[in-house]
Amino acid sequence: EAMAAQKAGDYAALAQAKRNQVLNGAVTKEAVAALDEIAKIRKFFTFVTKGNNKTLVEKGRNPDIVNAARAILSAYGLAPRLKNSAQEYMEVLKREDPRMFESLNPSVERAIADAKPLNELTLDELRVLNQEIDSMWNAAKRMREIEIDGKKVNLDDIAAAVGDRINEIGVPSEVPGEKSALTDQDRARKGLQFAGALLRRVEQWAEAKDGKFGGPFLRYIFQPVKEAADRYRTDRMKYRKQYAELVKEVAPNIQKGKIEAPELGYTFGAGKNGVGTAELLHAILHTGNESNKRKLLLGRKWATQNPDGSLDTSRWDNFINRMHADGLLKKEHYDFAQGVWDLLEEMKPLAQKAHRDVYGRYFDEVTADGFDTPFGVYKGGYVPAQADPEIVPDAALRKLAEAENENMAFSFPSTSKGFTKSRTEYNRPLVLDLRTLAQHIDKVLLFSHMEAPVRDVQRLLMRKEVSYGLNRMDPAAYEGMLIPWLNRSARQQVETPIVGDGRVSRVLSVVRNRAGMQLMFGNISNTLQQITGFVSIFGAGIKPSYIKRATAQYISNPRKTSELVAEASIAMRDRMQNEIAAINDSMSQILLNPTLYQNAQAWSQKHAYFLQAAFDNVISPIVWLGAYNQALSEKMSDQDAVRFADGVVRKTQGSNQAEDVSRIETGPAYARMSTQFFGHFNMVANTTVTGLQQVASDVGLVKGAGRALGIVFFGVLAPAWIAEAIAIAFRGGPEDEDDDGYLDDWLSQAIGMGTLKTLLAGIPFVGQLANAGINRFNGNPMDDRVGASPAVSLLESSVGAPSTVYKAMVEDVSKARAVKDVATAVGIVTGLPAMAASRPISYLVGVADGQIEPTSPVDAVRGLVTGTPSKESRR
C-alpha cells in the first residue's frame, strides 16, 4: 500500500499508509506481549496446581490456602475440580489463623463470585485473578515461616524446639477435669494460676521456662516481639525528628492569627489557637493528589461537581491566587508540603514490605499529581485523608466502631491497618491539623515493625507442638498472659480504651499522671532510693567485679561511656535519649501558639521525673556495661551479650514499655488508678521468682539453698532495707520512744517494716491497702514510697482542702497540713507541680505556727526539702 502510493506520487496516501504500518506494528507488539503475559500467568497457575498436601508442607506452604487458590482456579476452568470448595478450605484457615482468613476471604469470595471461563476474561480481569492467586501463594509460604534475627526459617523447626523444651520440663499426664468434674480445690487452684499469669512479665516467664538465658522460649517468643518494638521506637524517633525539622524550617513563615477566606466562606485559624497558616498548610497537603484534593474541596464545599464528574475549582483557585498575591503562601510553604510528601513516601516501602510479608500482596497506592505554582513545579504526594470527627457525625460513629472492634476481648492481636485499605469516595470535611501527621507516622511504623513478628509468635503459640504441652503445664498462660501481651505489644498501648465513655478515661488518665507528677517532682528521697538498683543486680547474677570496672569506666568519662552504650544497644539509646516529648513540645510551640500556662503545663509534664531520669541515666549504663562485659566473658556472641545486658537493665532497673510490663499493670484507666507505682515491686517479684525457679530447675532449692538465699537477699531484702532506711532518714529518723538509743529503732523500722512493706507492695490492691494502713503510723499521709494509690490519696486531700483550710483558720488545726492540701488541689487541677513548692512552704508555716521546732540546722534543711518534720521536732 505504501509502495503503491509512493509510485503514484500520492504523498497523503503514503503518509497514511506509513501511519497504519506503525500502528499495526505497535498493535502486533502489544498482542505478542499480551500473549506472552497470558502464557506466563497460565504457567504459574499450572505450577500452583502441582503436588499434594504432603509435598506442599514439605516445601513450606500452608495447604489450606493453596487448596483454596486451586478451588478458585477450578471455578475458572484452570484446574481440576477439588473435593472441597474454596470456602471450606478457608474455614479451616479461619480456625488456624483468623486474621489471615479475614484478610484473604473477601478477595476469595469476589473471585468465586466473578468466576467465568478463561476465554471470557479480559486481560485486566486475568491480571486481577493472577494477583489474587499470587498473593495467596505467597501468604501460604509465609504462614509456615517465622522471622528470627532477620532470617525467615521454617516454623516447624522453631515449634519443635519450643516443644522439645516443654517436654524436657515435663508435661502432666493428667490435668484437672479430665477424669472427673472440677472440685472446689481445682477451681481455686485454677484461679490462683490465672492470678499468677496476670502478675507475670513475659520476659521473666520465658527465662523461667528456659531455665537459663537464651533458651527457645526467650529467643522465639519474647525477643522477636521485643526487638521489633525497639526498632519501631527507633524509627519513630527518626521520622518524628524529620517531621519536626520540616515544621521548624517553615516556622518563620507560619503566621499567627486568622486567615479569612471569603471565596470559600471559611476562616482558617478560628480554632487551633488561632494559627491559620498551619491549618491552611494541611489543606495544601491534600492537593498533592487528585483523590485527596477532591475529598478536601467537596467535603468542605469549597468546590462543586460538574455533571460530567469533573470539579469546578474556581473558588479554591481564586483563593489560592490571592494567597500568592498577598504573600500568605510562599515558596517555603510549598517546600514544606513537598518535604512532608517525600517523608511519607520514604516510609512507604517499610509498610509495603510488611503488608506483602503478612498478606502476600502490596496495598494499593495513591498516585501523586504534580502542579504548577508561581514558585515552580511540585510533584505532589500523599497524606492521609481523615474525616474530621469533631464536625462529621458519621466519622465519629465510624471511629467509635473501630475502637469497639479493637476492644473486643483481645481475642487475636493485630495492629490497625486502615491506611492499607483502598481509599473510597468519601467526601466529608477532612481534618486540618498538622499534628495528626505525627500520629500517621506512628501508625505506619507500628504496622511496619510490629504486625509480622506479632503474627509470627501468635502462629508459633497456636502450633499443636507448643499449645498442647503448654496448656497442660501452664493452663493460664495463654488467656491470662500471652494473648494480652501480644495485643498490647502490637498496639504499643498499656491503657485499654473504653468505647463511648464520654472521655471519662481521659480524665482519669490525666489525674493519674498529675498525681505522679506531684509526688515525684523534685522528690530527692525517691531518687536516692534508686541506688538500690545497684544492689539488685547481684541478685540477677551479675558479678561485682564487672560492675566495679563498669563504674570506674563511667566515672572516668561519663559522656563517652553513655554514648558507647547507646551505640551498642538501641533499647538503651531509647531509654537514655527519649526525645519524643521534646519533639512534641517543639511542634506544639509552632503549630498551636500555646499560652504561658500551657507552656508551663508542658514543661511540668516533661520534667516531672527529671531527678529520677537523671539518676537512671547514670545507673543503667553502668549496669548494662557490667552485664555486657560479663556476657562476653562467658563466650556469648556480641548480639546475645547486648540482649543479655538489655534484659538485666529491664529486670533490675525497670521498664514501662508495653511489651515489658505484666497484664496487671495495664487495663482501663480506672483500673490503672490503683496500680500506679506498682511496676517496681512487680518487677522485683518477677525477677526474684524467675531466679528461684531457675535454681529449682537446675539443682533444686535444697542443694541450691545458698544461691537461692543470695537471690532473695540481693534481689528483695537488701534493696528493701536500704530504700526504707533512706525514706526514714528523709523523714527525720525514727523516734527513740524507749530512750535506749536509736539503733534498735532503725533496725526494727528499716529491716522489719521495710521488708513487710515491700512484700505487701508486691501484692496488688490488697497489699496497697495494707501499706496505706501502715503508713498512717509514720506521720506522713503521702509517704515517699507510695504504697496506696497516689491518685486516690491526692484526690482525697484535694477534696478535703476546704475543710482543712477552714479548720486551720477557725479551730487552730495544723496550718501546714492546710498548705499541703491546697497545693495538692492546685496541682491536680492545674497540672503544675504545686506540691513541690508546698514542701518548704508548709514546713516554714509549721515553724512559724510553733508546731515545728527543728532540732538542728541539718534537720531544718531536711524539713525544707521534704516538707516533713521529724518526730523529735513536732510540738
Residue 184 located in a structural domain: no
Q: What per-residue confidence (pLDDT) applies to 5? A: 61
Q: Specify whether the CB–CB gap between 220 and 158 falls below 8 A.
A: yes
Beta strand pairing call for 151-154 and 145-148: antiparallel
Residue 778 located in a structural domain: no
Closest by CA position to 493, among listed 658, 655, 656: 658
Query: What is the arithmetic mean of pLDDT over 239-245?
Result: 92
Task: Give the mean pLDDT of the chain.
Answer: 86
Q: Answer yes or no: is pLDDT of 263 > 70.
A: yes
Same-domain pairing of 429 and 551:
no
Distance CA 852, CA 873 (A): 5
Q: What per-residue confidence (pLDDT) applies to 146? A: 92
Q: What per-residue confidence (pLDDT) applies to 300? A: 92
Dihedral sign, CA of 832, 834, 837, 839? negative
What's the grid cell of residue 481?
Answer: 498472659
DSSP state of 427: -
Query: What is the arithmetic mean of pLDDT over 523-546?
Result: 90
Q: Specify whether the CB–CB gap between 430 and 579 falls below 8 A.
A: no
* Grid-cell match 508555716, residue found: 845
Same-domain pairing of 12 and 122:
yes
Residue 161 located in a structural domain: no
Q: What per-residue confidence (pLDDT) applies to 502? A: 66
Same-domain pairing of 533 and 429:
no
Domain count, the chain: 4
Where does a domain end: 424, 449, 474? 449
DSSP H or E segment with residue 274? none
Q: Answer yes or no: is pLDDT of 66 > 60.
A: yes
Q: What per-residue confidence (pLDDT) applies to 506? A: 85
Q: Pick the residue with more confidence: 409 or 416? A: 416
What's the grid cell of residue 281?
Answer: 498548610
Q: What per-residue confidence (pLDDT) applies to 344? A: 93
Residue 756 located in a structural domain: no
Q: Specify whether the CB–CB gap between 5 and 14 falls below 8 A.
A: yes
Query: What is the arithmetic mean of pLDDT over 392-420?
Result: 42
Q: Specify whether the CB–CB gap between 762 and 682 falls below 8 A.
A: yes
Query: What is the arithmetic mean of pLDDT over 365-386?
Result: 90
Closest by CA position to 773, among listed 794, 755, 791, 753: 753
Domain that holds residue 868: 800-875
Q: What per-residue confidence (pLDDT) applies to 301? A: 93
pTM for the model stands at: 0.87
Q: What percent of the chain has pLDDT over 70?
A: 87
Range with the poorest average pLDDT among 243-247, 421-425, 624-628, 758-762: 421-425
| pLDDT class of 280 with cuts at 50, 70, 90 | very high
> Cα–Cα distances in Å, from 700 out to 200, 686, 730?
22, 19, 42
Q: Specify whether the CB–CB gap between 161 and 469 falls below 8 A.
A: no
Q: Answer yes or no: is pLDDT of 216 > 60.
A: yes
Same-domain pairing of 437 and 537:
no
Same-domain pairing of 283 and 396:
yes
Query: What is the arithmetic mean of pLDDT over 599-605?
Result: 85
Q: Answer yes or no: is pLDDT of 781 > 60.
A: no
Listed in sequence order, the residues at least 6 apart from 553 whose beta carbon sits closer than 8 Å to its beta carbon are 561, 625
What's the grid cell of residue 738?
Answer: 524507749
Where does a domain end: 96, 114, 144? 144
* Grid-cell match 526539702, residue found: 865
Q: What per-residue confidence (pLDDT) applies to 787? A: 42
Listed in sequence order, the residues at least 6 apart from 813 whose beta carbon sits closer than 8 Å to its beta carbon are 804, 807
Q: Answer yes or no: is pLDDT of 762 > 80.
A: no
Q: Answer yes or no: is pLDDT of 813 > 80.
A: no
Range with the poorest average pLDDT among 81-90, 253-262, 299-308, 782-791: 782-791
Closest by CA position to 660, among listed 234, 227, 60, 179: 227
pLDDT in tens, 672-705: 888 888 889 999 999 999 999 999 988 888 999 9
DSSP state of 667: B
Residue 720 located in a structural domain: no
Same-domain pairing of 532 and 426:
no
Listed in sequence order, the residues at least 6 apart from 557 whose beta carbon sits closer than 8 Å to its beta carbon are none
Q: How big is the chain, counted in residues?
A: 875
Query: What is the arithmetic mean of pLDDT over 128-140?
Result: 90
Same-domain pairing of 427 and 304:
yes
Query: What is the arithmetic mean of pLDDT over 422-443?
Result: 78
Q: Pick the residue with more confidence: 26 or 711? A: 711
Same-domain pairing of 236 and 376:
yes
Where does a domain end: 422, 449, 476? 449
pLDDT in tens, 301-343: 999 999 988 899 999 999 999 999 999 999 999 999 999 999 9
Residue 6's Cβ-count burial label (10 Å; 0-12, 13-18, 19+) is: middle
pLDDT in tens, 190-213: 999 999 999 999 999 999 999 999
Distance CA 454, CA 448 (A): 11
Residue 171 located in a structural domain: no
Same-domain pairing of 275 and 369:
yes
> Cα–Cα distances in Å, from 813 out to 343, 801, 843?
62, 13, 15
Distance CA 37, CA 48 (A): 17
Q: Answer yes or no: is pLDDT of 418 > 50.
A: no
Same-domain pairing of 434 and 557:
no
**What are phi and psi for residue 66, nearest 5 degrees?**
-65, -40
Q: Answer yes or no: is pLDDT of 774 > 60.
A: no
Q: What percent of the chain has pLDDT over 90?
A: 49
Q: Up-side HSE of residue 49: CA atoms within 13 Å toward CB?
A: 17
Same-domain pairing of 127 and 270:
no
Q: What per-residue confidence (pLDDT) applies to 407? A: 36
| pLDDT class of 18 with cuts at 50, 70, 90 | low
What's the grid cell of residue 641?
Answer: 551479650
Residue 535 located in a structural domain: yes
Q: What per-residue confidence (pLDDT) applies to 822? A: 92
Query: What is the arithmetic mean of pLDDT over 711-734?
Result: 89
Distance CA 75, CA 463 (A): 32
Residue 743 located in a structural domain: no
Q: Answer yes or no: is pLDDT of 786 > 50.
A: no
DSSP 594-618: --HHHHHHHHHHHTTTHHHHHHHHH
Query: What is the arithmetic mean of pLDDT over 731-743?
Result: 71
Distance CA 191, CA 480 (A): 11
Query: What is the arithmetic mean of pLDDT over 733-738?
Result: 70
Q: Answer yes or no: is pLDDT of 476 > 70.
A: yes
Same-domain pairing of 440 and 563:
no
Highest-scoring range by mean pLDDT, 574-578, 590-594, 856-860 = 856-860
**Tell me, what amino acid is at 696?**
A
| pLDDT class of 26 with cuts at 50, 70, 90 | confident
> Cα–Cα distances in Å, from 540 out to 254, 623, 630, 825?
53, 11, 12, 41
Range with the poorest average pLDDT among 409-413, 599-603, 809-813: 409-413
Dihedral sign, CA of 734, 736, 737, 738? positive
CA 572 from centre of chain? 17
